[in-house]
Amino acid sequence: MHTVFVYGTLRTGASNAFRMKGARSLGEATVSAQLYRVHDQFPGVVLGEGSVLHGEIFTDVSDHHLHALDVYEGCDDGLPVEEHLYRRVEVDAVDGNGDLVRCYIWEYVKPIADSPLIPEGDWLEAQH
């Protein structure tokens, strides 16, 4: 089983939250990353220091479910690497108790030069 950090349309209450069915939410968390609006309908992040990214940690993610999320994120092995939109990497998220949780996150891999930064780091808040 795997643990993942989601920050956009996969979060509880967002448009693609149904894709997390079967996984268990551990609640809100943060990661060091910058959040961008890379398309009208979805976000992308660039990992690193400087900004706080708000999201949610899910655990009990099976191998099959993780693969389905890779397909959704456009980074599964069935696509040539140059067509990938994201890459799945491991990060340390800080949960609501202040504890570090090692989890997967999908980082945007295309150029973000023309993409607006979402300085508050919260995709759900930016949608209101």
Q: What is the pLDDT of residue 77?
A: 82
- What Cα–Cα distance (Å) separates residue 93 from each residue in 27, 39, 108, 112? 11, 25, 17, 23
Which residues in the chain show pLDDT less than 50? Answer: none
Note whether 87 and 71 are within 8 A (CB). no
Q: What is the pLDDT of residue 22?
A: 95
Q: What is the pLDDT of residue 97?
A: 94
Torsion angle (degrees, nearest 10) of CA 109, 20, 65, 120: 20
Note whether 68 and 9 are within 8 A (CB). no
Q: What is the pLDDT of residue 76?
A: 84
Question: Taking CA 92 as the corner, what is the angle to CA 41 and CA 25, rounded to the nearest 5 degrees?
Answer: 60
Domains and CATH numbers, the chain: 2-121 (3.10.490.10)
